[in-house]
């Protein structure tokens, strides 16, 4: 018997279409053919279990073999009769094909899924395909279907002893790469590692006399019952760890894992791992793998799991995720939404339970965990609502607190006069050491916020918490960090403050992109003589500018620092004394002169008061101008005396440099000068 016919497609020829449009994803032909073989085998097992197939099942291993020009996929499943070939292979439902192909031309999965074209994907790599098959049905006649890449096919009777199907692909000249053993091997690893029926690729090899030789044992490439298909109660920690190693051989041991298992209202199984990540690069390299009934589909799960969980590792398996559709469709699919909510809940439940049952372990791993939890809280409202109970703060003494615990801890000492709770934090324990110490001595607690996402977390928590402000320990002198009353302590007169400001400002080295404002405050005799602080507001604007687009303006601004002089400190007093002795008199004279001019100026102004500009005579204007000029000159004279004074005063230089040094801002020539001067001072 020989039949001839045309494959039932409404477009003229499906094959060029398959080749052309599915170009980039050629390799999935193997997944499709092996999955078909698995399906056929499972169908037979089902029939056997229902008593409809009564013979021996025997060895059900699926075999893949590569020869010179061909790849063969053989199974011992249900096989096909010629009628079934006609029905399932020859008739391809193909309506609106052109439109659809055009729309999804870059998405082979979508096309294959839409048309049930799994088998036809063989033509992506083959110029001719043969199906040699024999149905499991009693007395079935084996048949051979042949098609050489145009809509014509032939079916003829064939000789085949065993039930099941051989799919033989005659590989196209431009696809010869698929005839390489290593290529097939890696494709099988990628797509078929966890299929539920054993898949063998050739024979196992062993080393003999310095050579690799084939053994008689099948080289089975898959694990048929991967851990996500098993009951959590049967599994030990070691099993989870081994599986993780199998998926990501180069990675450190995971922190925690979550075994997912849902039957209703959708099917989902899987194991998700919290990885221990050393770098961002690693974070993106290993990905969650998505399976559909143990067939690997993809490792781009964006849209299926919430954004922050794409940072996790592991496996998800669901027949209910519509895999063969576009990404945008996925995001609006209601099953996908449910799955995403479910996973978020599962992940937070698991974290919550570890936190509750083994807080010590949770704290130990917090450092690695916090990137996930923080990212989750920042991007997903419902996750924040759950995570706020187990997310942790760590302070500069390495103690951990929940949000609630911390609030209770600092309420007494760190509430300001307006009832705001002030959270003090440092982002670098070493650089901000003296500020941290000062705050601690005052009875405050200082948090350590040195994570990648902490700038954003601080902003978020200020929004979430009521009447709470975060202030970095170095944003002001310790007395001003938490303002408890309105009194401002300053023991110096305005004139002395001015003298100090001019002297110190003039001696500050030029630091690129940094500007200083000099102020004096009475900080007590034990505090440092000079401190550098940076306003919380400006610093944060700049930090946000670095992580957010559209705030470039702030990023361009110089850093604004305050150089705070402690008027209680004896070295500052000494600077004033020395200045007073050296040029006090001259300064006083200049001041007097300035005062006189100011008085003249005032009276002149008084006369002009109420007059329209055009009524003021030219002489009057001239007089005023002259006085302003004189004042300017005197101020310059005064300042230059002070600058001269300051430039000779080693204490001023030393104090400035020490303050810069304390903030890691003393570099290059200035640092060198400082060292030389320090040595001189010792000598």
**Hey, which residues does 4 pair with through a beta bridge?**
154
C-alpha 530, offset from chain centre: 40
Can you tell me the distance from the alpha carbon of 347 to that of 274, in angstroms, rounded to the nearest whole number?
Answer: 10
Of 119, 201, 228, 274, the residue at the interface with ligand ADP (CB under 6 A) is 119
Interacting stretch for ligand ADP, rule CB under 6 A, among 9-17, 45-53, 75-83, 371-379? 75-83
CB of 456 to ligand ADP, least distance (A): 46
What is the DSSP pairing of strand 199-208 with strand 62-66?
parallel
Nearest to 74, CA basis, from 34, 47, 45, 46 = 34
Block residue for tokens 């002198």: 477
Position 499 contacts ligand ADP (CB under 6 A): no
Residue nearer to ligand ADP on the CB measure, 36 or 286: 36
Stretch that binds ligand ADP, among 72-80, 151-159, 350-358, 368-376 (CB under 6 A): 72-80
Q: Considering beta carbons, is residue 18 or 78 the nearer one to ligand ADP?
A: 78
The enclosing H or E element of 460 equals helix 454-464
Torsion of CA 147, 148, 151, 154, to 10 degrees: -30
DSSP three-state, residue 415: strand
Find how far residue 626's CA is from the centre of its chain: 65
Piece of 30-38, 243-251, 262-270, 395-403 that binds ligand ADP (CB under 6 A): 30-38
Residues 541 to 570: which contact ligand ADP by CB under 6 A? none
Residue in 17, 34, 89, 290 binding ligand ADP, rule: CB under 6 A: 89
Of 468, 357, 351, 358, the residue nearest 415 (C-alpha): 468
Binding mask 153-172 for ligand ADP (x = CB under 6 A): ------------x-------
Q: What is the rounded distance in angstroms from the CA atom of residue 195 to the CA atom of residue 412? A: 61
Given the rule CB under 6 A, which of 101-109, 114-122, 214-222, 325-333 is the region that contacts ligand ADP?
Answer: 114-122
Beta bridge partners of 520: 565
Q: Is 16 an interacting residue with respect to ligand ADP (CB under 6 A)?
A: no
Residue of 167, 141, 37, 130 lying closest to 82 (CA atoms): 141
- The secondary structure of 500-543, three-state, reads HHHHHHHHCCCCCCEEEEEEEECCCCCCCCEEEEECHHHHHHHH
Q: Does 117 bind ligand ADP (CB under 6 A)?
A: yes
In angstroms, what is the minimal distance from the CB of 145 to ligand ADP?
11
Residue closer to ligand ADP, measured from CB, 131 or 583: 131
Q: How far is the CB of 43 from ligand ADP (least distance, A)?
A: 8
- Radius of gyration of the chain from its Cα atoms, rounded to whole angstroms: 39
Residue 92 Cβ, how far from ligand ADP at the closest point, in Å?
Answer: 8
Question: In this complex, which beta carbon is closest to ligand ADP, that of residue 139 or of residue 683?
Answer: 139
Helices (H) and strands (E) counted in the chain, each on its own, are 23, 22
Which range in 74-82, 136-144, 231-239, 244-252 contacts ligand ADP by CB under 6 A? 74-82
Grouping H, G, I as helix, E, B as strand and the rest as coil, residue 326 is coil
Distance in Å, CB of 311 to ligand ADP, minimum: 33
Sequence-ordered alpha helix ranges (H) in 235-358? 237-247, 280-285, 327-332, 334-357
Q: Contact with ligand ADP (CB under 6 A): which of 5, 16, 96, 116?
A: 116
Give 78 or 197: the residue with its C-beta nearer to ligand ADP.
78
Cβ at position 77, least distance to ligand ADP in Å: 5
Distance separating alpha carbons of residues 660 and 638, to the nearest angstrom: 27
Instruction: Single out the residue of 14, 28, 30, 78 in contact with ligand ADP (rule: CB under 6 A).
Output: 78
Distance, in Å, from the CA atom of 321 to the CA atom of 335, rounded to the nearest integer, reads 7
Helix, strand, coil percentages in the chain from 3-state DSSP, rounded to 5: 50, 20, 30
Query: Using the rule CB under 6 A, which residue among 88, 203, 598, 667 binds ligand ADP?
Result: 88
Residue closer to ligand ADP (CB basis): 165 or 475: 165
Beta strand residue intervals within 299-438, DSSP E: 313-317, 392-394, 400-402, 421-426
Q: Number of residues in contact with ligand ADP, rule: CB under 6 A? A: 17
Which is nearer to ligand ADP, 9 or 478 (by Cβ)?
A: 9
Give me the residues paired with residue 453 across strands: none
Tokens found for residue 623: 């007089």
Residues 36 to 55 in contact with ligand ADP, rule: CB under 6 A: 36-37, 40
Q: Which of 34, 53, 75, 456 binds ligand ADP (CB under 6 A)?
A: 75
Burial 385-423 (b: 16+ CB within 10 A, else e): ebbeebbbbbbbeeebbbbeebbeebeeebebeeebbbb
Minimum distance from residue 176 beta carbon to ligand ADP (Å)? 24
Smallest distance, ligand ADP to C-beta of residue 99, A = 21
Residue (of 147, 28, 29) closest to 85 by Cα position: 147
**153 vs 425, beta carbon nearer ligand ADP:** 153
> For ligand ADP, which stretch binds (CB under 6 A), given 115-123, 324-332, 379-387, 403-411?
115-123
Q: Among residues 34, 44, 80, 426, which is the contact residue for ligand ADP, using CB under 6 A?
A: 80
Among 22, 77, 114, 660, binds ligand ADP (CB under 6 A): 77
Q: What are phi and psi of 301, to 5 degrees?
A: -100, 10
Task: With contacts defined by CB under 6 A, name the span among 76-84, 187-195, 251-259, 520-528 that binds ligand ADP.
Answer: 76-84
* Dihedral Cα 611, 615, 620, 626, nearest 10 deg: 80
State the nearest-atom distance from the C-beta of 147 to ligand ADP, in Å.
13
Nearer to ligand ADP, 18 or 187 (CB): 18
* Overall size of the chain counted in residues: 683
Contact 505, 518 (CB under 8 A): yes
Footprint of ligand ADP (CB under 6 A):
32, 36-37, 40, 75, 77-80, 88-89, 116-120, 165
């Amino acid at each position: 018997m020989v039949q001839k016919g045309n494959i039932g497609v409404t477009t003229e020829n499906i094959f060029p279409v398959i080749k052309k449009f599915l170009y980039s994803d050629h390799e999935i032909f193997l997944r499709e053919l092996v999955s078909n073989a698995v399906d056929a085998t499972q169908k037979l097992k089902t029939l056997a279990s229902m008593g409809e197939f009564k013979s021996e099942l025997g060895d059900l291993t699926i075999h893949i073999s590569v020869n010179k020009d061909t790849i063969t996929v053989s199974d011992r499943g249900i096989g096909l009769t010629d009628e079934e070939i006609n029905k399932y292979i020859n008739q391809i439902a193909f309506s609106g094909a052109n439109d659809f192909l055009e729309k999804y031309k870059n998405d082979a999965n979508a096309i294959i899924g839409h048309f049930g074209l799994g088998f036809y994907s063989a033509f992506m790599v083959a110029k001719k395909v043969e199906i040699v098959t024999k149905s499991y049905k009693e007395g079935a006649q084996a048949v051979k279907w042949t098609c050489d890449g145009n809509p014509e096919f032939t079916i003829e009777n064939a000789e085949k002893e065993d039930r099941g199907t051989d799919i033989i692909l005659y590989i196209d000249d431009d696809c010869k790469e698929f005839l390489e053993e290593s290529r097939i091997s890696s494709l099988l690893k990628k797509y078929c590692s966890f299929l539920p029926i054993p898949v063998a690729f050739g024979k196992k090899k062993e080393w003999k006399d310095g050579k690799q030789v084939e053994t008689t044992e099948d080289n089975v490439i898959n694990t048929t019952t991967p851990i996500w298909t098993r009951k959590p109660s049967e599994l030990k920690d070691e099993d989870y760890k081994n599986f993780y190693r199998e998926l990501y051989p180069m990675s450190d041991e995971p922190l925690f894992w979550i075994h997912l298992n849902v039957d209703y209202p959708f099917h989902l199984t899987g194991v998700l791992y919290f990885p221990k990540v050393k770098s961002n690069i690693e974070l993106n390299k290993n990905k969650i793998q998505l399976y559909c009934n143990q067939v690997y589909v993809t490792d781009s799960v964006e849209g299926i799991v919430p954004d922050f969980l794409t940072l996790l590792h592991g496996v998800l398996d669901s027949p209910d995720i519509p895999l063969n559709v576009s990404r945008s469709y996925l995001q609006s699919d209601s099953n996908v939404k449910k799955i995403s909510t479910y996973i978020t809940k599962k992940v937070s439940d698991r974290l919550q339970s570890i936190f509750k049952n083994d807080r010590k372990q949770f704290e130990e791993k917090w450092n690695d965990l916090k990137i996930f939890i923080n990212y989750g809280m920042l991007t997903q409202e419902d996750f924040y609502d759950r995570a706020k109970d187990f997310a942790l703060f760590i302070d500069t003494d390495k103690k951990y607190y929940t949000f609630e615990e911390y609030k209770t801890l600092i309420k007494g000492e760190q509430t300001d006069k307006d009832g705001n709770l002030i959270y003090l934090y440092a982002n670098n324990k070493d650089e901000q050491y003296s500020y941290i110490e000062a705050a601690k001595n005052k009875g405050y607690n200082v948090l350590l916020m040195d994570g990648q996402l902490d700038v954003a977390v601080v902003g978020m928590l200020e929004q979430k918490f009521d009447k709470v402000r975060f202030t970095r320990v170095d944003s002001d002198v310790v007395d001003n960090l938490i303002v408890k009353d309105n009194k401002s302590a300053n023991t110096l007169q305005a004139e002395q403050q001015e003298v100090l400001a001019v002297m110190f400002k003039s001696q500050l080295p030029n630091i690129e992109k940094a500007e200083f404002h000099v102020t004096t405050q009475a900080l007590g005799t034990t505090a440092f003589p000079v401190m550098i602080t940076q306003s919380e507001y400006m610093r944060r604007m700049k930090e946000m500018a670095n992580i957010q687009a559209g705030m470039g303006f702030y990023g361009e601004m110089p850093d604004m620092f305050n150089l705070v002089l402690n008027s209680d400190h004896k070295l500052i007093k000494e600077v004033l004394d020395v200045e007073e002795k050296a040029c006090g008199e001259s300064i006083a004279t200049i001041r007097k002169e300035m005062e006189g001019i100011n008085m003249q100026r005032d009276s002149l102004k008084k006369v002009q008061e109420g007059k329209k500009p055009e009524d003021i005579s030219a002489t009057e204007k001239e007089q005023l101008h002259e006085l302003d000029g004189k004042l300017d000159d005197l101020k310059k004279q005064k300042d230059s005396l002070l600058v001269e004074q300051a430039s000779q005063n080693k204490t001023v230089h030393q104090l400035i440099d020490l303050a810069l040094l304390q903030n890691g801002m003393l570099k290059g020539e200035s640092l060198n000068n400082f060292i030389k001067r320090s040595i001189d001072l010792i000598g």
